[in-house]
Structure formats: C-alpha cells, structure tokens
Structure 1
Amino acid sequence: MSIKSFAAKILARTVYNKNQAWIENPIQSQEKVFHSLVKSAKETAFGRDHGFDQIKNYEDFKQRVPIRDYEELKPYVDRIVQGEHSVLWPGLPYYFAKTSGTTSGAKYIPITKESMPFHIKAARDAILNYIHQTGKVDFVDGKMIFLQGSPILTEKNGIKLGRLSGIVAHYVPSYLQKNRMPSWETNCIDDWETKVDAIVEETIQEDMTVISGIPSWVQMYFERIKQKSSKDVGEVFKNFNLFIYGGVNFQPYRAKFKQLIGRHVDSIELFPASEGFFAYQDLQKHAGMLLLVDAGIFYEFVEADRFFEDNPTRIPLESVQLGVNYVMIISTNAGLWGYNLGDTVVFTSIKPYRITVSGRIKHFISAFGEHVIAKEVEQAMKTALDSCKATVNEFSVAPQITPPSDELPYHQWLIEFENPPNDLDLFAKILDESVQEQNSYYYDLIQGKVLQPLKIHCLSKDTFKNLMKSKGKLGGQNKVQRLANDRKLAEELLGISNS
C-alpha cells in the first residue's frame, strides 16, 4: 500500500466518524441549519421584505416565505446580477453558475463564500465514504478523469460566471492534481468532439482508475476508446474500477456501459446541482443516496400529486414518509429561499435519510442531461407548423437511448398530422433548430454529437384518441403527455398506430 493510499484510508475513517454526528442526528442538524440561515440573512433585502427578524420557528417561516421557482425569484437575482449587495445573502456571491432557463433565457444561480465549500466537501466525502465502506483504496494511486465543462470563467459586474462543473474544476485539491486528467489545456477546449478526441489521446496509455461524468458524455468517451483501441474499456484500463456519475438516471445506460467496459465496475451516484450538493450514494448495495442535512441547506417537501393545488402542505424532513413522491424545496446559504428545484424525490430510508431522484415535477426529457421542457417543444412545433403550413392533431416526444445499428441516440417525435408538411425533412430540421435555440444543454449535445438531430415518426389517424380511449381517459380534463423521459408512452403509441 502506497503512502497516499494509506493516508486516504486514515482520512476516510476520520471523515466517516465525524459525519456520524449529523447522520445520527438529522433533525437537530436541520434545526441548526434553519436557524443559522434565517439569522444570517436578516439584514438582506429579502430578509427585510419577508420579516426574517420575526421568524422564530418553521411555522413562522412557512407563513412568511412562499414557495418560488427561479422565475419568481428572478427579480431578486437580477438585482444581484446588476451588482447590488446583500440582496438574497450578505455581500455578493463568489460565482454565478449559469444554467439553461425555462422562460427567460439563462439562469444565474448564486454560489457564495459559504456555499462553495459544501460542493467540494460533498464530492470528497462521497469518495472517502466509498473507501471506508469497501476498503478499496488502490485507485487513489492511478489517474482520475472528470469529464466536465470548460473551466474558463467570464465576469459580470465583478462576479465570476460559468458552468458549475467548470467552476468546481478550480477547486481540485492539490493532492489530486498529479492524478487528475485531462490536462487543463484540453479541459478548456470548447468543441466537445475535439475535446473528446484530445482526452482519448491523453488517457488511452494511462492507468485510469476513476472515471466520472454524466453517463451520456462518458458513453461517448468509452465508444471512442473502444474504437481507437479495438478493445473493451476494461481491458484498456485494467485498473478502472470506479465510475462516479450524476445528472441523469443511469439505469438506461447500465447495459450499454457493461458492454463497453466488458466487466463490472463499482459506481457512486451523486445528486449535485448548481443550487447545491444534496446527496450521494453511501452504500454499494443500496440504490438510495444519503441526504446531506448538514450542508447549509434546509429541506422542505410537498407531495408531488398535490403540488399544484392551492396552498399545498409543506413539511420538514422529520415528517416525510417512505415511498411518497415529493417535490423537494430548498433554502440555502447561497440565498435561495423556499426554492422549488423542480426535482422529485422518494425516500428509500429514514434512518438515515436516503433518497432516489424520481423525476421532475413537470413533464420533461432529460435522458441525456438536456432538461427539455414542454414549453420548448411546443414553441418548436409552432415554429415548424407556421413555417411549413402544416397542422397536427397531437404529438409526444420521447428519448431513443439505444437505437439500432450503432447510430447516435436521439429524440423521437411521434406526430399525428392533420395536414402533413410537403417536406418532412425540412419540418424536422426547423423543429430541431428551434429546440437548440431555446435549450443550451440540447444544443451542446447536438453540436457535440452526443445526440443526433431529432427524428419524426408519423402516426396513423386517431392514434392518440384511441390510446386515451383504451385508458379510459378520453375527453374531460385528461391531457396527452407531451414529454416523457422513458419510452413507455412512445411504445404504446407505436403499438396502436401499427395495429
């Protein structure tokens, strides 16, 4: 055992033991976080507007702070973007994590001096916990790759701006710098295809032991490795035994990864976002992720089935139940208050609190990390219909993750035309370009050739009506699901159309 791996094992045990304090006392930890957040933000513009000086307990907080999504919080964020101090949190944030917005362009998520360390600590603790739980530590002596966005940051009114993964790249600890790949220069390449080719060249002869990233991006890297070497990834990297991922559900990729790697490797699932680092998988034999209750985030939950009711019931962590689908609401030391992240979670364990991410509160497609929402596909359809003088009865969109003949994955649009366009290829091109214009994640995936442009499947007349009728949902307030993150609805539609 090397000195580095020996030291890592000691550190892993130390961190594991220290974390037991909040793991074993989660409600007390949340109480402490709650009071600290409210006290810290009393003199901010948001704190004054919402009477934080009058908040003594959680019930007071619920009465004064409504649930908001980004669009509803945006007026406060805009003031920070313009350089105003102490709006949502004391002072100015260190960074803005720039992400794709839903209705008003880019979202600027603040990351503060207080919140940034928890992004780094959570990622570190996930790996140290794995070492402590499994006893496997030799990987620390090999090379580690983190497929991520460019670390080049811009600046807006004195606040640095970039993608979260690019921001985090500036915080790789010194003891990992020699192990970290790719090189800084390669990591700064904007064009994804060029970047992947450069990463392959840099890593194919190295002793890669840990590989991390969003599954769709890592799959492309693995395919390039296999193409260049004519070997399974597990044979090229004989000591590769740990895959770390987050961002999308890994299950649809699992079989493909096993085929590309050629053998089993351990994996750790993470639940990070620009808004905070919420959970990580702490046990190899348990699919749930440990909720981080001592990380500067106060959690609330609303039953997903009741979320769109007037004044839905909000509950703190201590009141959650197993197996219920909840919308997760957060208040953080980056200045997000009663913030609807949009993710839904299900608790798989109470002692300790573990969750799985069950989806989004609104219909969406994010099989590849693209976060395409209904508004975007509906706007794209309108643009294409107007341009091509066509009409549709109904449509739905689903991901095709494993198409035949080794072609790239894509979004499949299942459309029942009333009056089809004269040029279906042009119609598809307009659709795809419109979605790219609205959604930067989808644009990156298309331009990086992780996805190919969308494909249209024309459905026969009355397909949607017959589907709804078969489900007893014809008429009334029942609506066809425009977006799905799996292929269940798509296969049902195809089955009816072809029958």
Structure 2
Amino acid sequence: MSLKSFAAKLFARNVYNTTQKWAQNPVATQQKVFKQLLKKAAHTAFGTDHNFSTIQNYTDFATHVPVRDYEALKPYVERVVAGEADVLWVGKPLYFAKTSGTTSGAKYIPLTKESMPYHIEAARNAILLYVHETGNADFVDGKMIFLQGSPVLEEKNGLKFGRLSGIVAHYVPSYLQRNRMPSWETNIIDDWETKVDAIVEETYPEDMRVISGIPSWVQMYFERLQKKGNKKVGDIFKNFSLFIYGGVNYEPYRAKFENLIGRKVDSIELFPASEGFFAYQDKQGEKGMLLLLNAGVFYEFIKSDEFFTDNPKRYTIGEVALGVNYVLIISTNAGLWAYNTGDTVAFTSLQPYRVIVTGRIKHFISAFGEHVIGKEVESALNEAMEGTQVRVNEFTVAPQINPVNGLPYHEWFIEFENEPDDMEAFAIAIDEAMRKQNTYYDDLIRGSILRTVVITKVGKNGFQEYMKSIGKLGGQNKLPRLSNDRKIADALS
C-alpha cells in the first residue's frame, strides 16, 4: 500500500464519521443551514425586499419568499452581472456558471466564496466514502480523468464566467494534479469531437484508473479508444476500477459500457448542478444518493402532480415521504432563494435521506393526460432489455398525436448497438413495462385512446449529430429523455 492510498483511507474514515453526525440529525442540520442563510443575507437587496430580518421560522419564510424559476429571479441576477454588490448574497460572486437556458437563452448561476467549497468537497467526499466502504484506494496511485467543459473563463465587470465543470477544474487539489488528465492544452479545445480525439491520444498510453463524466460522452470516448486500440477499454486500462458519473441515469448505458470495458467496474453516482451539489452515492449496495443537508443548501419539495396548481404545499425535509415525485426547490449560500431547479426527485430512504433523480418537471409526455416522466421511460427500457442481448446507445420519446394511420402513440427513437431479434416484441415489452408503472397510460391503452409504442430506429451516431446540429455536443449537455412536443422527433425523423 502506498503512502497516498494509506492517507486516503485515514481521511476517508474522518469524512465518514463527520457525515454520520449530520446525516443522523437531518432536521436539526437543515434548520441550522436555514438560519445561517437568512442571517447572512438579511441586509442584501433581496433580503431587504423580502423582509428577512423579520422572518422567525420556516412558515414566515414561505410567506415572504415565493417559489421562483430563473426567469423570475433574473432581474436580481442581471444586477449582479452588471457588477452590483450585496444583491442576492453578501458581496459579489466569485464566478457565474453559464448554463443553457430555455426561454431566456443562457442562464447565469452565481457561485460565491461560501458555495464554491461545497462543490469541491462533495465530489471529494463521494470518493472517500467509497474508499471507506470498499477499502479500495489503489486508484489514487494512477491517472484519473473527468470529461468536462473548457476551463477557460471569460471576464466581465470584474466577474468570471464559464461552464461549471470548467470552473471546478481550477480547484483540483494539488495532491491530485500529477494524476489529473487531460492536460490544460487538451482541456481548452472547444470542438468536442476534436477534444475527445486529443484525449484519446493523450490517455491511451497512461495508467487510467478513474474515469468520470456524463455517460453519453464517456461512451463516445470509450468507442474511440476501442477503435484506436482494437481491444476492450478494460484491456487498454488494466487498472481501471472506478467510473464516476452524473447528469443522467446510468442504467440505460450499463450493458453497453460493460461491453465496451469488457468487465464490470464499480461506479459512483453524483448529483451536481450549477445551483449546488445536492447528493452523491454513499453506499454501493443502496439505491439512491445521500442528500447533502449540511452543504449550504436549504431544501424544499413540492409534489410534481401539484406543482402547476395554485399555491401548492411546500414540504421541508422532515415532511417528505418515500416514493413521491417532488420538484426540488432550493435556497443557497450562492444567493438563490426558493429557487425551482426544475429537477424532480423521489426518496428511496428516509434514514438517511437518499434520493433518485426522476427527471425534469418540464420534460414529460402528457398529450393525453398520461404525465409520463423520465424515470418511467428509463425503467421501461431497462425492463425490456433485461435478460436479452439488446444494447442501446441513446434514446428519446415523443408523442405522435396525428398519425397518418391508426391511433396516436408514443414514439420511441432508439439508437441500438445490438438490435432485438423481434422489434415488435421488444416494443410490446416496453409498452407492458410502461403500463405497469403508469396507470393513466394503462387506461389510455385499455380505452383504445393510444396504441402500443412505436419504435423508430436512429442511425449510428444519429443523436450525436443532432446534438452537434444544435450546438450542444459534449460537456454537460444532455439529451432530454422525453418531450411533450415533436421538436426533437421531427429533427430525427
């Protein structure tokens, strides 16, 4: 055992003990965060506008601070971007994370000196809890890579702007710098395909042990490695033992990854966002990720099926239930207040609090009142593939409301690595899995309002070409699993 791996195990034990303390006292931990946030921001412009100094408890907070999305918060954000201090949080932010918006174009999410350390510590602690649980620390002696956006930052009004993953790249601990890949020169390449090719050339001869990134883009990296070496990734990197991912559900990719690697490797799921680092997988055998209750974020939850009603009830951590789909609402030490992240989650455990990401509140299909969500289509595909040799590279789902012939249906656009022998039977298997999960969808099938799903095959690299065509190839960009319109579907047809 090297000195570095021995030190990692000692550090891991301390992190585990600290984590247990706050995880076993969830309500008190959140109450402490809540009070700290309000006290710190009491004299900001937002705090003054919303009477923070008079707020005594959560009920007062919910009364004074309505739930907002980015559009509603934008007037405050624009003041900060213009260089004004003490608007959403004390002073000025260190950075703005630039993300892809919807109606507003680009979104600018503040990162402050108080919030930034939590992004770094959370990623580190996820790995250390893995070390504590498994005893595996050998990977610290090899190379590791995170497929990320460019670390080059823009500057305006004394503030720095960039992609979150690029900003985080500036905070890699010094003791990992020798292990970290790719090089700065490679990492700043803008064109994603050129960048991946350069990463392949740079990493191919190295002792890669940890690989991290969004699964769809790591898959692209693996495929090009395999093409270069004409062998499995696990044979190229014989000591590769840990895959760290976030952003999308890994399960639809798992079979393809194991085939590309040639064996199984351990994995750690993360739930990072520009708005905060919310959760990470703390146990290999447990479903869900540990919700980070002590990380400068106060959480609220609104039931998804009530979200678009007038004045839906807002729940705090002590009031949530297992298996309910909630919209995630946050207040943070970066100056976001009762902010609608757009993410939906469900709790898999209440002791401690663990969540799975079920999708996006704006990503659903409800053309006929079925309200199908991301988790349901992912689970249905996984169930249909179970016990088969079918492997899927990527997929998305859209409604077909006005077919040329027959009843309307849900159209599944799938890029197969290995196709099913019987496509019709595979479609029926998906449909049956969907009907078991969603009673509204089942009622529509039974009532002959919808017919069973229709699968449309997408050609090799079809989804990559689509993402490239809209300027979202690589980085933190993700393909929506489902849409309530046919914008993506029509582009793929």
For the aligned pair, the TM-score class normalised by the smaller chain equals 0.7 to 0.9
Change (3 A) 1:306 1:153: same
Structure 1 gaps, min length 5: 378-392, 406-431, 455-479, 495-499
What are the residue-to-residue correspondences of 1:327-476 with 2, within 5 Å?
A: 327-363=327-363, 399-402=413-416, 442-445=470-473
Change (3 A) 1:192 1:185: same
Q: Deviations over 1:13-43 (max 9, x none)?
A: 1111122211111111100000000011110
Indicate the residue corresponding to 2:151 in structure 1: 151
Indicate the residue corresponding to 1:323 in structure 2: 323
| Structure-1 separation of matches of 2:143 and 2:302 | 42
Identity %: 66
| Structure-2 separation of matches of 1:337 and 1:481 | 29
The question of whether the paired residues in 1 share the 8 Å contact of 2:192 and 2:474 is answered with: no
Q: Deviations over 1:410-436 (max 9, x none)?
A: xxxxxxxxxxxxxxxxxxxxxx9xx97
The question of whether the paired residues in 2 share the 8 Å contact of 1:363 and 1:482 is answered with: no
Aligned residue for 2:155, secondary structure, equals strand
The question of whether the paired residues in 2 share the 8 Å contact of 1:5 and 1:138 is answered with: yes
Change (3 A) 1:96 1:450: closer
Report how far residue 287 of structure 1 moved: 2.3
| Structure-2 separation of matches of 1:41 and 1:17 | 31
The question of whether the paired residues in 1 share the 8 Å contact of 2:397 and 2:412 is answered with: no
Indicate the residue corresponding to 1:289 in structure 2: 289
Report how far residue 251 of structure 1 moved: 1.2
Structure 2 gaps, min length 5: 365-372, 379-391, 400-406, 420-462
Q: Deviations over 1:180-200 (max 9, x none)?
A: 011111111111111111111
Q: Give the letter for the 2:100 counterpart.
A: S
| Structure-1 separation of matches of 2:275 and 2:77 | 13
Q: Give the letter for the 1:219 counterpart.
A: Q
Indicate the residue corresponding to 2:456 in structure 1: none
The question of whether the paired residues in 2 share the 8 Å contact of 1:191 and 1:448 is answered with: no
| Structure-2 separation of matches of 1:186 and 1:397 | 39
Change (3 A) 1:399 1:3: farther
Q: Give RMSD over aligned pairs.
A: 3.3
The question of whether the paired residues in 1 share the 8 Å contact of 2:345 and 2:356 is answered with: yes
- Post-superposition, which runs of at least 4 consecutive aligned residues in structure 1 deviate over 6 A? 365-368, 393-397, 446-451
The question of whether the paired residues in 1 share the 8 Å contact of 2:217 and 2:474 is answered with: no
The question of whether the paired residues in 2 share the 8 Å contact of 1:120 and 1:168 is answered with: yes
Change (3 A) 1:335 1:373: farther
Q: Give the letter for the 1:482 counterpart.
A: D
| Structure-2 separation of matches of 1:3 and 1:283 | 25
Change (3 A) 1:446 1:189: closer
Report how far residue 400 of structure 1 moved: 2.6
| Structure-1 separation of matches of 2:9 and 2:336 | 36
Indicate the residue corresponding to 2:368 in structure 1: none
Change (3 A) 1:481 1:194: closer
TM-score normalized by the length of structure 1: 0.77
Q: Deviations over 1:126-145 (max 9, x none)?
A: 00000001111111101001
Report how far residue 395 of structure 1 moved: 9.8
Aligned residue for 1:72, secondary structure, equals helix
Change (3 A) 1:450 1:70: closer
The question of whether the paired residues in 2 share the 8 Å contact of 1:45 and 1:88 is answered with: yes
TM-score normalized by the length of structure 2: 0.78
The question of whether the paired residues in 2 share the 8 Å contact of 1:139 and 1:210 is answered with: yes
Report how far residue 444 of structure 1 moved: 2.6
What are the residue-to-residue correspondences of 1:215-364 with 2, within 5 Å?
A: 215-363=215-363
The question of whether the paired residues in 1 share the 8 Å contact of 2:148 and 2:476 is answered with: no
The question of whether the paired residues in 2 share the 8 Å contact of 1:22 and 1:293 is answered with: yes
Indicate the residue corresponding to 1:482 in structure 2: 485
Change (3 A) 1:269 1:446: closer
| Structure-1 separation of matches of 2:42 and 2:323 | 36
The question of whether the paired residues in 2 share the 8 Å contact of 1:241 and 1:265 is answered with: yes
| Structure-2 separation of matches of 1:171 and 1:22 | 25
| Structure-2 separation of matches of 1:447 and 1:26 | 34
Indicate the residue corresponding to 1:413 in structure 2: none
What are the residue-to-residue correspondences of 1:27-42 with 2, within 5 Å?
A: 27-42=27-42
The question of whether the paired residues in 2 share the 8 Å contact of 1:233 and 1:262 is answered with: yes
The question of whether the paired residues in 1 share the 8 Å contact of 2:299 and 2:316 is answered with: yes
Q: Give the letter for the 1:339 counterpart.
A: Y
Aligned residue for 2:330, secondary structure, equals strand
Count of aligned pairs: 414
| Structure-1 separation of matches of 2:42 and 2:141 | 47
Change (3 A) 1:15 1:203: same
Report how far residue 483 of structure 1 moved: 6.4
Report how far residue 401 of structure 1 moved: 4.2
Report how far residue 373 of structure 1 moved: 12
